[in-house]
Amino acid sequence: MKSELPKVLQPLAGRSLLAHVVAAARRLEPASIHVVYGHGGEQVRAALKGEALDWALQAEQKGTGHAVMQAMPAIAATDQVLVLYGDVPLVRPETLARLVAASDERTLAILSVRLPDPTGYGRVLRDNAGSVYRIVEQKDATRKELSVDEVNTGLLCAPAGALSGWLGELKNDNAQGEYYLTDVVAMAVRQGYKVTAIAAPTIPEVLGINDKLQLAEVEAEYRRARSRELMLEGVTLVDPARLDVRGEVTVGRDVTIEPNVILEGRVSLGHRVTIGAGCVLTDVSIGDDTKVHPYSVLVEADVGRGCVIGPYARLRPGTQLADEAHVGNFVELKNTRLGAGSKANHLTYLGDAQIGANVNVGAGTITCNYDGANKWRTVIEDGAFIGSGSMLVAPVTVGSGATIGAGSTLTRAAPRDALTLERARQQTIARWNRPTKLAPAEKAEREAASRLPEPEDPAPR
């Protein structure tokens, strides 16, 4: 990968390759999941520290068979073992379930796929009756064997007791000097076990990743698959190729998503929601009939019905919009509740605020919520009107029905149903001249005069 990040931690659709594989395995409800790690292992363990996993160290990388050997001591002989790969992230739980169902105490099941160009993959060899009898790696295959287009994906399911025995008999007398997991197929055949190959329904879900080019190709396949799922659920995607889904999305009817949208984490979109171009939504719930205009960013926000957001709005964590609320262009909310029918339409920051219903917040208003050490709360009650360019220095309360005159800096509570102003008296100086450009020497002299004096040395003792 030509990266300091281990391959299995390379990002795909917002999470690591290995996290995708673990998530697919988790869907099968296994008794345990074992991760064999080697290169960059501590990074890998740290990245998945929140997962319930059993870790097995492969101190030396001696091939796939050697890797599986490291996990087997922690697995009961009566278990079934499903072997997955940390760099094959798109395999679907449904495919894995078919593979597990095909295996039993006398059957080894492998996952195969037919490729137009099988170069680089181990070939699945079948006898005249169509039964699998061997898998041969590319570098060890004859010319005839290389003509086979059915290849081994590496994924298999086997009875643990038999698998442990086969692994113990592996030899590394091959071109790579490695212990190939695929050699257990021939061993199973010799011992009278049935070997069955389950065909992967699609090529993309068994694609492995070895470089950044393949990573990009797999990411494109992932985007296509997620876009297809949403369209089958009734979502209108203006350009399916330009949607990134990086989490779990639930949708109502008649949702429309414009190009270049990113959906991350858990996103819920109600009926008739429209998401404009270039929006980023992370862990967001949006109610019916809400419109998010282009280039808005919503993170950990809860949005009600019939809201209008953006363009270029930012809802930060803890934001709640009640029904019919409006948040306009270049407005930012953080840890703030904007009540039903309230509006903040232009160039405004509302942080740590509780805003009631039918409040109008004028352009350029700021809740001054941070004093350099503590965060303070602003309360604006129902029906208040905040004039443009107002500074609300928290903690402060604006009463219901109150009006704050434009340009005011509020430091004390504003009573309900009254006009509160805070402005310096306007003055006009008639005989005033604008500054003129100074010569460099004169400018330097004035700058020197404006500097603070150097502190005097303390008197000697």
List, by residue number, the catalytic residues: 346
Residue 315 in tokens: 């809802």
Residues 157/150, Cβ–Cβ less than 8 Å: no
Q: What's the Cα-to-Cα distance from 161 to each of 25, 79, 81, rounded to whole Å? A: 21, 8, 9
Amino acid letter for position 203 = I
> Angle, to 10 degrees, between the axis of helix 64-71 and the axis of helix 160-168?
130
DSSP bridge pairs for 297 = 280, 314
Within 10 A of 454 (CB to CB), how many other CB atoms are there? Answer: 6
Residues 279/301, Cβ–Cβ less than 8 Å: no
∠ CA(363), CA(364), CA(370), 5° rounding? 135
**87 backbone dihedrals φ, ψ, rounded to 5°:** -110, 20
DSSP state of 29: -
Contacts 24+ apart (CB under 8 A), 280-285: 282/247, 283/247, 284/315
Selection from 205, 200, 195, 185 nearest residue 112 by Cα: 200
Residue 328 in tokens: 């306009």
Contacts 24+ apart (CB under 8 A), 23-26: 24/84, 24/91, 24/92, 24/93, 24/96, 25/82, 25/84, 25/96
DSSP bridge pairs for 35 = 55
